[in-house]
Amino acid sequence: MILSGATIRDNLGENIIIDPFDERNLNPNSYNLTLHHELLTYEEVVLDMRKSNRVRRMVIPETGLVLKPNQLYLGRTRERTETHNLVPMIEGRSSIGRLGLFVHVTAGFGDVGFCGFWTLEIFAVQPIRIYPGVAICQIFFHQICGEITEYASDKYQHNRDIQPSLLFRELDPDAQVKDPQLPLDFGTERFD
């Protein structure tokens, strides 16, 4: 069962946190999330699942930024969300989709207990100019049945920025020690 807009409002502060919250973004059964002013793109020609792939950060100016087709851009929402006892999901807004802009390639499904910003996997069918702060996607909430175990992964939980893929951590348990983009754990040996 999907929560109505009124039920989303009733759950604010308890099961749902949206920060900042703007009443104008509340829909009949969802809430519009807006686009942050930064994007990441991968610098590698071939992405490697077992490695931390290099990324380049870019700023979306107020005058807009033209996205190229066949290029993956990682963005994030301006809003930080927190969800308890419900399953959060995001989808692109129909007005955005009708311009040939996808806001997630596969990762629109959230986990109960997720806290943080939503990383968007942005893909354009043809060149399109985007703007910071535009209502880019909508979050909606499902009720969940059965015993709940909240999301607690150290990969994406409580993120503070756009999150490139951290799959390499699953495939190589020692990756955090070896990866120069991640902070070192000074309680373990250092490798020079």
Note whether 119 and 136 are within 8 A (CB).
Answer: no
Q: What single string gives the DSSP state of each residue in 66-131?
A: EEPBT-EEEEEEEEEEEESSEEEEEEE-HHHHTTTEES-SS--B--TT-EEEEEEEEEESS-EEE-
Note whether 119 and 74 are within 8 A (CB).
Answer: yes
- In whole angstroms, what is the distance from residue 28 CA to residue 97 CA? 19
Q: What is the DSSP letter of 24?
A: G
Catalytic one of 121, 147, 150, 170? 121
121 is a catalytic site residue: yes
Catalytic site positions: 121
